[in-house]
Structures are given as structure tokens and as C-alpha cells.
Amino acid sequence: MSTSTERTFRVLIGKPGLDGHDRGAKVIARALRDAGFEVIYSGLHQTPEMLVSIALQEDVDCIGLSILSGAHNTLMPDVVALLEDEDASDIFVFGGGIIPDEDIPRLKDAGVVEIFTPGTPTTEVVAFLREECTRRLAARQD
């Protein structure tokens, strides 16, 4: 019998916009699933509103947005703003995809917690999310 009280964190992996390439999103989803996260995958062509609705319905801890289309400067901040509008800013947003280095500070200023670019080891993503989810859960319990 396990005495572990470790919580299973829930992650929504979303593909907003018209981007039809989801290989990277599926790789991250599988890595997170293999690491013990509960993963919900949105499928392609979601609007920010649809993703926030899914996140609220599924009671996720965070939303990972995969964007290869170049629309990251609009779509990622839109998701963060919609979460705030729904009084759900405890759900944090992270992202990945083809995102120029010069855009990353602006995205973080808009509330995106972390950006993972191509070539980031999946172990790094898993470790970051486990630490961030655990930190936020502890802060809510204090």
C-alpha cells in the first residue's frame, strides 16, 4: 500500500489557431503522461475561448500551448487574459513552438510562465512543470 499523498497534476495541451502541426504537442503530451501527469489534449484549431472553457471544465493546473504559426504574440496572451477574466489565473500558461527569442520576454510579461523552444529535452519540461505545479499547490494551501 502506498503512503504517498503526491497529487496528480492535470495539464491541458492546446493547439490554438490555424496551425495544423501537432507532432511536438503530442510528444510533450506523451512525456507528461509517462511522467505521471494527467493530460488532456485539445486537438487542432482551438480558439483561446475554447481552450479556457476546456481548462475550466477539466479543472486543470496549467495549459500548455503549442504554436508554430507565428501567432504566439496574440494567442498566448489572449489565453492568459481569458483565464483572468474567468477568475482562474491560478491556472498557469506555458508555451512551446517556433517562438523567436526576442518574443519570449514580451510573452512572459503578458503572464506566460515559461516558453520551451524546439530542442528542449522533454525531461526539462517535465521537471519544470512538476516543480511549478507543486510550488503553486503549496502556496494555495498556506
pLDDT of residue 78: 98
Asked if 55 contacts 20 with a C-beta cutoff of 8 angstroms, the reply is: no
Domain containing 27 equals 10-141
Of 57, 67, 123, 121, nearest to 93 by C-alpha is: 67
- The span from the CA of 31 to the CA of 126, in Å, is 7
In a domain, 71, yes or no: yes
In a domain, 5, yes or no: no
Across the chain, mean pLDDT equals 94
Residue 115 burial (CB count, 10 A): 20
The count of C-alpha atoms lying within 13 angstroms of the C-alpha of 2, restricted to the half-sphere facing its C-beta, is 4
Q: What confidence tens digit (pLDDT) does each residue in 75-114 have?
A: 999 999 999 999 999 999 999 999 999 999 999 999 999 9
CATH number at residue 19: 3.40.50.280
The count of C-alpha atoms lying within 13 angstroms of the C-alpha of 141, restricted to the half-sphere facing its C-beta, is 7
Q: What confidence tens digit (pLDDT) does each residue in 47-70 have?
A: 999 999 999 999 999 999 999 999
Structural domains in the chain (count): 1
